[in-house]
């Protein structure tokens, strides 16, 4: 489903990503791991269109995404969450999902929303409520996000990313700032959502225990390059991977 070939990106004289190849099959969960500065988030940004690579291609279902803007990629079926929390504090949990769904489906006219006349349709509310139930946010649906803790806000971001039924979910450090219990709960939720919705997932994550629990396959990056790919146990024991994390083979 996702095919990345020869992806390279430099910022000034500093190469962030160098000749990266990466694939995600339909319904497959792939972990993208590596030490800080390995280039993982830059790869996600290039896939989602927030960063344009210097070289290489990104294809979704065989279609070259080229220089398509992020909103076009989202409508083609790519969802995204972020390492740094990206929410609108004044909006309720339900409003976050309604806005995301409306943008994804480009439904109500902008002028109606600006005038406060764009009330959610019955279909929109049904889709939103289904996702709220799936991620466990029904009881806080009408609470402003500013009143929620970090763990709940992470769930809001995840719900917003999947409400448009993406075929591919890009998720960047979803456990950042969470405690051990919240991380385990999130790992279980990601697995169940992926299976229930049949979506592919590219997970960037530092918590390797969470990665092992969630993904089918892992790709390891170091200094902008892929150094290993395969099953979690096999890959994490490879000398190149141990060197990347520990500085020794």
Structural domain spans, the chain: 1-77+166-249, 89-164
Average pLDDT of span 195-220: 95
For 47-70, the pLDDT digits (tens) are 999 999 999 999 999 999 988 999
Q: What is the DSSP track for 143-164?
A: SBGGGS-HHHHHHHHHHHHHTT
CATH for the 1-77+166-249 domain, from 3.40.50.2300, 3.40.50.300, 3.40.50.11030, 3.40.50.1000: 3.40.50.300
Residue pLDDT, tens place only, 72-91: 999 999 999 998 888 888 99
**For residue 35, what are the CA distances in angstroms to 140, 221, 222?**
36, 8, 7
134-168 per-position pLDDT tens digit: 999 999 999 999 999 999 999 999 999 999 899 99
pTM of the model: 0.90
| Dist CA 97 CA 74 (whole Å) | 14
Mean pLDDT of 203-231: 95
- What span, in angstroms and rounded, lies between the C-alpha atoms of 194 and 200? 7
Query: What are the tokens at 32?
Result: 């993208």
Place of tokens 């929109």: 124
Side-chain-facing half-sphere of 66: CA atoms under 13 Å = 5
């Amino acid at each position: 489903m996702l095919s990345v070939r020869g992806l390279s990106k430099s910022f000034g004289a500093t190469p962030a990503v160098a000749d990266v190849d990466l694939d995600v099959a339909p319904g497959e969960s792939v972990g993208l791991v590596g030490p800080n500065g390995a280039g993982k988030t830059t790869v996600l940004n290039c896939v989602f269109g927030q960063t344009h690579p210097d070289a290489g291609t990104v294809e979704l279902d065989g279609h070259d995404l080229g220089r398509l803007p992020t909103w076009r990629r989202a409508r083609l079926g790519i969802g995204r969450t972020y390492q740094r929390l990206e929410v609108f504090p004044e909006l309720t949990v339900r409003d976050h999902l309604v806005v995301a769904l409306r943008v994804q489906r480009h439904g109500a006219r902008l002028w109606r929303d600006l005038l406060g006349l764009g009330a959610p349709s019955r279909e929109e509310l049904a889709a939103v409520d289904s996702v709220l139930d799936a991620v466990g946010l029904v009881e806080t649906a009408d609470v402003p996000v500013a009143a929620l803790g970090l763990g709940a806000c992470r769930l809001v971001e995840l719900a917003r990313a999947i409400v448009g039924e993406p075929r591919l979910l890009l998720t960047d450090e979803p456990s950042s700032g969470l405690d051990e219990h919240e991380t385990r709960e999130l790992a279980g939720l990601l697995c169940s959502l992926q299976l229930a919705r049949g979506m592919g997932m590219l997970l960037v994550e530092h918590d390797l225990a969470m990665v092992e629990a969630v993904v089918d396959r892992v790709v390891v990056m170091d200094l902008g390059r892929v150094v290993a790919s395969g099953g979690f146990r096999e890959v994490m024991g490879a000398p190149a991977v141990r060197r990347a994390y520990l500085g020794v083979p």
